[in-house]
């Protein structure tokens, strides 16, 4: 039902995408020039909908990271680090305008490379990327130190200064917003940056590099090094010339980045996995709770770190909830993500397809039952049906490990305390939701759930004015929020004797 019977070339509609893919080997952006990897090596980029090769990209490794660090360091020591905030912000606004002007093209390219639907791509680019550039352009002026009134014979104050060369290692699930979430705060605070996109989905990062050049940004301020995790990624994590790494990806790789950072004690922020509980009380507005729970594990084919993959439902409401959720999930249309009739595209890569289908087998072997889905779709493309597992115990692997696909476990609970205990019974703590019409209970449960974001009667809302990140093994530090610059600046205390 899901597979498309035509080639990638036949799917492309945007002239800009055709033009971009007409030069099929993408290079590294170092010091505002497009260059091959020093090794001359390249790797294949695959369209997950057709399994055709879309293009190739330069396989950057340690030697290319060295060159990027040199460029970023020179740029930082040049005027960039001392530019007035308003001038730095102007580049962010120009970048935002360039993204908006090329929205249709960027969304198509993102969808071709990553498999997300065009509607999802457009929403993510508009809210996640353009929105973030506007936020950071506006809040760059909010960076400030303190002037304590401690002693009249001194004038003491603190300064917030850029850290230096920052790097962003980013995942494949929402490539454009993830690149912007690393570029924008780094530049707003006066740092320079090196971006390493995921090897599965580097194309839109390369296109963003082209758009950045159109803004007139000075040489070396943003560098883009495509390549693999163990090559380019670990070279970044270990590099003595990089002052800060911001990483979004798996908890396992996050640990290795933290370990690798100890050489020069670089600053590290980590945005990692989740197994977020979506807690539904029997008194909830089910007309909103059920479709939102569906989106919570099927948007972007479930490949979102904050996905609500454990739905905890109060026992009295459990069976009816499962029946409705099953019907809605079974009604989703899998297909070509460029076709507006498709609700879900394929998973982003073959590895991901194998991982998710592996978990479908694990769930069945553990005694869980799929009320809908439970299998990959036949034929070409990495399509997996949305899957609802019941008869799940919170101790099963499918309830404990991050699957990163359209697979949800529904688990019953008895009362408020049981909901909180099961919700918190996880090594993760990225997000959680609570659905109830009881105001007191909503706030009590929101307080007790150990998660970096808690949604009450909604899911996935993201306000950049508030911090985003995880408790426990879901991360280190936070992104966004009014204190965002703590992670992109050093602080200096100055003591002046009067």
Binding site for ligand ADP (CB under 6 A): 169-171, 196, 198-199, 228-230, 233-234, 237, 249-250, 253, 256-257
- Is 271 designated active site? yes
* Six-digit token string for 37: 């990897």
Q: Are 222 and 209 in contact (CB under 8 A)?
A: yes
User: Which DSSP category does 332 fall into?
Assistant: P
Length of the chain: 498
User: Between the CA of residue 237 and those of 96, 168, 230, 322, 463, what are the distances in Å?
Assistant: 28, 10, 10, 44, 29
Question: 47 or 416, CB closer to ligand ADP?
Answer: 47
Query: Long-range contacts: 485-488, Cβ < 8 Å, 24+?
Result: 485/142, 485/143, 485/160, 485/185, 485/188, 485/189, 487/185, 487/244, 487/246, 487/267, 487/269, 488/162, 488/163, 488/166, 488/185, 488/186, 488/188, 488/189, 488/191, 488/244
Separation CA 205–CA 207 (nearest Å):
5
Separation CA 376–CA 356 (nearest Å):
9
Question: 199 or 416, CB closer to ligand ADP?
Answer: 199
- Least distance in Å: CB of 395 to ligand ADP? 24
User: Which DSSP category does 377 fall into?
Assistant: P
Q: Which residue matches tokens 């090594």?
A: 427
Which residue, judged by CB position, is nearest to ligand ADP in the bound state?
A: 229
Question: 81 or 202, CB closer to ligand ADP?
Answer: 202
* Six-digit token string for 477: 């530090």
322 phi/psi in degrees, rounded to 5: -60, -40
Question: 170 or 338, CB closer to ligand ADP?
Answer: 170
Q: Which of 59, 305, 385, 479 is catalytic?
A: 305
- Is 486 designated active site? no
User: Which DSSP category does 207 fall into?
Assistant: H
- Least distance in Å: CB of 257 to ligand ADP? 6
Q: Are 344 and 332 in contact (CB under 8 A)?
A: yes
Categorise residue 363: left if φ over 0, alpha if ψ from -120 to 50, beta otherwise. alpha
Question: 233 or 363, CB closer to ligand ADP?
Answer: 233
Give the HSE-up count for residue 222: Cα atoms under 13 Å, Cβ half-sphere.
29
Strand partners, 325: none
Question: 39 or 158, CB closer to ligand ADP?
Answer: 39
* Six-digit token string for 298: 């099927």
> How many Cβ atoms from other residues are within 10 Å of residue 161's Cβ?
17
Q: Are 118 and 103 in contact (CB under 8 A)?
A: no
Question: 67 or 433, CB closer to ligand ADP?
Answer: 67
- Least distance in Å: CB of 433 to ligand ADP? 23
451 phi/psi in degrees, rounded to 5: -150, 150
- Least distance in Å: CB of 56 to ligand ADP? 16
397 phi/psi in degrees, rounded to 5: -60, -40
- Binning the chain into helix, strand and coil, the percentages to the nearest 5 are 40, 20, 35
Question: 137 or 170, CB closer to ligand ADP?
Answer: 170
- Least distance in Å: CB of 313 to ligand ADP? 28
Max Cα separation, the chain? 79
Q: Which of 110, 238, 271, 416 is catalytic?
A: 271
* Residues acting as catalytic residues: 271, 305
């Amino acid at each position: 039902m899901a597979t498309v019977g035509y080639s990638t070339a036949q799917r492309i509609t945007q002239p800009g995408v055709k033009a971009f893919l007409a030069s099929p080997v993408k290079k590294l952006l170092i010091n505002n020039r497009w260059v091959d990897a020093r090794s001359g090596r390249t790797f294949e980029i695959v369209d997950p909908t057709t399994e055709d090769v879309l293009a190739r990209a330069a396989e950057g490794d340690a030697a290319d990271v060295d060159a990027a660090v040199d460029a970023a360091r020179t740029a930082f020591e040049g005027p960039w680090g001392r530019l007035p905030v308003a001038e730095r912000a102007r580049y962010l606004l120009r970048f935002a305008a360039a993204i908006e002007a090329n929205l249709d093209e960027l969304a198509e390219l993102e969808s071709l490379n990553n498999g997300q639907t065009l509607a999802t791509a457009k929403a993510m680019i508009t809210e996640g990327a353009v929105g973030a550039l506007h936020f950071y352009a506006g809040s760059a002026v909010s960076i400030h130190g303190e002037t304590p009134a401690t002693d009249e014979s001194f004038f003491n104050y603190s300064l917030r200064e850029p850290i230096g060369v920052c790097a962003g290692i980013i995942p494949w699930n929402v490539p454009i917003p993830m690149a912007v979430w690393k570029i924008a705060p780094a530049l707003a605070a006066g740092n320079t940056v090196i971006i390493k996109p995921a090897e599965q989905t580097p194309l839109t990062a390369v296109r963003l590099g082209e758009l950045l050049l159109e803004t007139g940004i000075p040489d070396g301020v943003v560098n883009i090094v495509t390549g693999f995790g163990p090559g380019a990624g670990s070279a970044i994590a270990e590099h003595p010339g990089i002052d800060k790494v911001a990483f979004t990806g798996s908890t396992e790789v996050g640990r290795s980045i933290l370990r690798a950072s100890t050489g020069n004690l670089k600053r590290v922020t980590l945005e990692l996995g989740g197994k977020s509980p979506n807690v539904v009380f029997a008194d909830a507005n089910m007309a909103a709770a059920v479709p939102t729970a569906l989106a919570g594990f099927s948007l972007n084919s479930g490949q979102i770190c904050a996905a609500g993959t454990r739905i905890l439902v109060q026992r009295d409401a459990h069976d009816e909830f499962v029946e409705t959720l099953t019907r809605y999930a079974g009604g989703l249309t899998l297909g070509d993500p460029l076709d507006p009739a498709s609700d879900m595209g394929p998973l982003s890569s073959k590895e991901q397809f194998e991982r998710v289908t592996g978990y479908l087998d694990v769930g069945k072997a553990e005694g869980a039952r799929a009320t809908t889905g439970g299998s990959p779709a036949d034929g070409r493309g990495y399509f997996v049906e949305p899957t609802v597992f019941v008869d799940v115990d919170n101790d099963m692997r499918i309830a404990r490990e991050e699957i990163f696909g359209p697979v949800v476990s529904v688990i019953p609970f008895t009362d408020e305390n049981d909901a909180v205990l099961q919700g918190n019974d996880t090594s993760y703590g990225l997000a959680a939701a609570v659905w109830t019409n009881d105001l007191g209970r909503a706030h009590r449960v929101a307080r007790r759930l150990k998660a970096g974001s808690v949604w009450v009667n909604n899911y996935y809302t993201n306000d950049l004015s508030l911090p985003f990140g995880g408790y426990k093994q879901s991360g280190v530090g936070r992104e966004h929020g009014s204190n965002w610059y703590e992670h992109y600046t050093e602080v200096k205390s100055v003591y002046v004797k009067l």
